[in-house]
Structure formats: C-alpha cells, structure tokens
Amino acid sequence: MRTRTFAGAVTAGVALTLLHVTPAVAAAGDIDTSFSSNGKEKVDAASGAVDVAIQSNGKIVAVGSDGTKMVVVRLTTNGTLDTAFSGDGVLHVGFGNGGESEASGVAIVDSDIVVVGTHFPDSSTGDVKMAVARIDSDGTLDDTFSSDGKELFDLSGDTRGGDVAVQSNGRIVCVGRDGHDLLVVRFLSDGTPDPSFDGDGSITTSFTDDVEGMAVAIDPGTQEILAGATHVVSGQTEDFVIARYTTTGTLDDTWSDDGKRTAQTTSEGGLQSLVVDSSSRVVAVGSTESSSHGFQFVVRRFDNDGTSDDSWSDDGVVQAGFKRGGESADDFAFDVVLQSNGKVLVAGTSLDGDREFAVMRFTTDGHLDHGFGGSDGAVLTSFNQQAGANALDIDDSNGRIVVVGNAIKDDLSLDGMELARYLGS
C-alpha cells in the first residue's frame, strides 16, 4: 500500500485537512500481511469481483463472471484458493439455454452460498431472467434447491437480479428490477417463490422514473426488508430510492408514509448499497458530483420512519473524498457494512489518473473516524495494476475487513479479481 497524503476530504460541506501519519504499530485500516504474501491477492478465474461474503469459519467467497457463466471463488483465511471447494477453489455456474449469466450478489445461508444475478438469452427474442444459484459448502450445486441448485425467475421478459440477503428463518430475498420497476422476490429454501410473500413470492414497486434495484438488507430486529435502488433518468443514475416491506410483502406505511423514500442527489449519482442497524436506521451509500470537488462518496442515514437522521453529521448526510497533489480525485462508493460497534465502513474506487481501492470509516455520528487509516479515517490501496473496489465484508470472528473488486488493464478492460484484507479493530 502506498503512503499518501490525503487533504481536503469534505464532510457535511465542511473541508477537513487530513494528514497521513504512518503508524508505528499495526492499527485499524492497515493492510493485513497475514493474508496472501502482502495483504493482497489476485484471482484470474473471473473478469472481476462484484460482491463478497465471509463464512462463519472465516473463508472468503467472492463472485463475478467470466463472460459466459457466474464464477464463485472461495479462499482460505490465509488468502489461497480453497481446494476443499469445487476441487480448486473455483466454481463456474451456467444456466443452460445458451446465453450468458452474470453474478451480482452473494449471501451465506447456514454453510451454503447463495448467488443472484441475471441470465441473458443468446438471441434478442429470448427473455432476460433473474438467476439464483445455491451452492453447498463443498462447491457443488445444492440439488435440494430447485432440483439442480439453480432457479430462473421471470415476470415481464426483462427481469434482472441485483442483490441477495437471507432472513433469520433461512428465506432468501433477492432484489432487482422487472421492466421499469423495483422487484423483490422471496424464495423458500427449496427454491420456490414463497407464497406467504405478497401471495406469489414477489412484489414490484413503481416510482416516478425507471429504477434499478441495487441492494437489499434485512432489519435485524423486525426482519422487514429494505430494498435500495437508483433512479435512471435519461440514461443517468440519480437519487437514492429506498422501499421498506413487511415480512408478508406489503409496503410498510410507517416508513415515509407510503413505504417509499426518495432522496435527491446531483446528476450521475445514485444509491449503490445499504445496511440496517439495530435501531432500524438505514445507512445508504453512493456517489454525488460536486462542482468544486468532483465525485465524492455520499453516505446517508435515515431514521426508522424514513426521515433523514439529523444525529448523523447534523443533517443526515455526509460527503467525503480524496484530494491529492492539490487536485480532487473522483471517488465512487459501492458498498457499506456496519462493524459490531456501529461504526460504518464504506468501500469504493478512487480515480486520479489511475484507480485504487478506497476505504473510509465513519463514527456512529457520521464523522470520519481518526482511529482508522493512521488517523485519516480513510485509506487508499494500490496494486500492480489499476484496481477498483466493488464490495466489502467483515469477518465477525476477528473484525478483519475484506475488500474485493476488479483488476483493470491500461485499456480499461477487466483483468481479474483483486482482493485486499485490512485490520479492523
């Protein structure tokens, strides 16, 4: 990891000067050198990694695609491919009928792995379908799920998967879009749509403009479902869109009066991920464009009724970015997780001529955490080539943070999965 000087990170409209001091001892945000040889690992089995989940035994599951099939990779706790998984640590999952299958999200249910994505037909006349696979811990498809471990779900002929989460009863909740609308589907453990969820296992929700379902989270107290989306207006992603559903699949009208909440950003912003805390507050992340600072991470927190939480950075929203060599970088947030102490970790990509992993940590009241990243509250990580982070997860057993994303060639084509692990105390 290169040592950088970070200056001009912006939070709640106030400029903060952050001076990087290299810590003398290992500290939160440092690269974990017990992972692989230097805290980083590249896997060439897929073009990139779009999501990650850590199993209870600390093994790391990353998902992506190879241009034709979903790719599921499992690494041991020390960063090597796990040969107890599919023989070589890599499983390719296709959905037949030609075409291409792309992964977009992963979750752990018991010791199994659930992957959601989209299957595209091999002709313009076929249907685009949400694709879901359930995989046993040994890397074989679970034939108790839809008889062969795979399920295709379609409503309108253009049905896409975006993310997946698991409720405490083991039911699998997938979010995506159907046509122009936000889609939530709940599956039973055998892969059939759950009839106790809105009658047929799925619900679509319309907004003023087209939306793209990006993220799903389960309220740990109520087990209600939070689905996050971004508006798509004239080809640009804008605004944070969040819907809250009861456990039976109806919009929860205690959330923003009608179960739906839209929070505006600037053009080409939009929600990428969300999480729910133990007080039913929603933390959502994405990016927004500033005329003076370029693109920045934006982190919003909503109270349990859908209103902006003013105890988070005074007005419910914080923006933060990197400034290097006197110039603002463009910074894009793609994922968020909560630590057990309530602190908020956000990962994404920083672009300043090249691309690097970017991770920030915020305190419970929405300020950059100066106990992370050598007092900065943020870290940048470079690799042997350009790399952009897409997702992160925390190992509950030790608090270590795993971030995954794409290796990127100079021509900007994708060149494999990149992973990095950080200390997270």
The DSSP line for 32-95 is -TTSTTTSEEEE-SSS-EEEEEE-TTS-EEEEEE-SSSEEEEEE-TTSSB-TTSTTTSEEEE--
CA-based angle 68:73:74, to the nearest 5? Answer: 165
Q: Are 286 and 241 within 8 A, CB to CB?
A: no
Handedness of CA 75, 79, 84, 90 (dihedral sign): positive
DSSP assignment, residue 158?
Answer: B
Please give the backbone phi and psi of residue 190, each rounded to the nearest 5 degrees, phi first: -90, 5
CA distances from 317 to 6, 86, 212, 263, 296 (A): 21, 43, 22, 10, 12
Per-residue pLDDT tens listing for the chain (425 residues)? 222 223 334 333 333 334 344 444 689 999 999 999 899 999 999 999 999 999 999 999 999 999 999 999 999 999 999 999 999 999 999 998 789 999 999 999 999 999 999 999 987 778 999 999 999 999 999 999 999 999 999 999 999 999 999 999 999 999 999 999 999 999 999 999 999 999 999 999 998 888 999 999 999 999 999 999 988 766 566 788 999 999 999 999 999 999 999 887 665 678 999 999 999 999 999 998 877 778 999 999 999 999 999 999 999 999 999 877 777 889 999 999 999 999 999 999 999 888 999 999 999 999 999 999 977 899 999 999 999 999 999 999 999 999 999 999 999 999 999 999 999 97
Q: Which of 8, 10, 12, 13 is nearest to 312 (CA)?
A: 12
Predicted local distance difference test score (pLDDT) of residue 289: 83
Burial 199-236 (b: 16+ CB within 10 A, else e): eebbbbbebeebbbbbbbbbbeeeebbbbbbbbbeeee
Write out the two tokens for 392.
């992160």
* Cα dihedral value 323, 329, 332, 337, nearest 10: -20
Rounded Cα gap, residues 425 and 397, in angstroms: 11
Q: Which of 74, 73, 55, 60 is nearest to 112 (CA)?
A: 55
Strand order in the sheet with 40-43: 40-43, 414-422, 401-408, 386-394
Rounded Cα gap, residues 160 and 422, in angstroms: 33
Predicted local distance difference test score (pLDDT) of residue 9: 40
Ramachandran class of 270: left when φ > 0, alpha when ψ lies in -120 to 50, beta otherwise: left
Q: Are 333 and 346 within 8 A, CB to CB?
A: yes
Handedness of CA 322, 217, 45, 230 (dihedral sign): negative
Contacts of 404 (CB under 8 A, 6+ apart): 49, 51, 52, 62, 389, 390, 391, 392, 417, 418, 419
What is the value of pTM for the model shown?
0.92
Q: Are 85 and 150 within 8 A, CB to CB?
A: no
Predicted local distance difference test score (pLDDT) of residue 236: 63
Contacts of 395 (CB under 8 A, 6+ apart): 54, 58, 401, 402
Rounded Cα gap, residues 112 and 89, in angstroms: 15
Handedness of CA 272, 277, 107, 188 (dihedral sign): negative
Rounded Cα gap, residues 244 and 177, in angstroms: 15
Predicted local distance difference test score (pLDDT) of residue 266: 60
* Pure H helices in 225-367: none
Predicted local distance difference test score (pLDDT) of residue 235: 58
